[in-house]
Amino acid sequence: MQLILDSLVLVIGVLMLLGGIRFKKMNRKNKSWPKVKGHLKLLEIAESSTKRGSSKASYILKGAYSYEVSGKEYTSDRIHSIDSRLGAESTIVYTQPEAERKREELKVSALEVTYNPRFPEEAYLLPASDRWSHLAIVGGVLTLLIGVGRFMV
């Protein structure tokens, strides 16, 4: 039984490390995509369904915008670069004051849409922070060290 638990710790460490590296690479690639001017159609703040019922409420930005690439108009609702392309809820959550501040920043600024040059329908408004990839990488390394240490005992 102990061998199974030790192996599980190693697998979790490897998955965290690889996931962090993959996220960091994807985020770096996304930041190099070209940008175009966009037009905000809708931008609202909604309570995150993943945090409903908890004592500390969290909020997400929901919206829609249009932009043009090579004469063709596209519409998207993807706010953050790491948000799902499958229409799932935003992965970035804010406190209510943070969400209101972000919404106002997007409303008053010239909207800049970052899009994938190979698939222009894939776009986002806000880049993701690297802190999550760094956290996953550090967490993966620490978990691996713990797992290796458990095998050596």
**Do both 44 and 117 map to the same domain?**
yes
pLDDT of residue 70: 95
Handedness of CA 22, 23, 28, 29 (dihedral sign): positive
**Do both 86 and 142 map to the same domain?**
no
pLDDT of residue 131: 78
- How far is 17 from 71, CA to CA, in rounded Å? 41
**Domain count for the chain:** 2
**Do both 44 and 7 map to the same domain?**
no
**Do both 88 and 141 map to the same domain?**
no
**Do both 9 and 77 map to the same domain?**
no
Which residues are within 8 A (CB) of 126 and not within 5 positions of it... i.e. 6 or more apart?
79, 80, 81, 92, 102, 106
Range of the domain at 147: 2-29+135-152
**Do both 110 and 83 map to the same domain?**
yes
**Do both 40 and 101 map to the same domain?**
yes
pLDDT of residue 50: 63
pLDDT of residue 86: 44
- Mean pLDDT in runs of 10 for the chain (153 residues)? 86 91 83 91 79 67 90 90 55 78 76 92 82 86 88 76
pLDDT of residue 141: 93
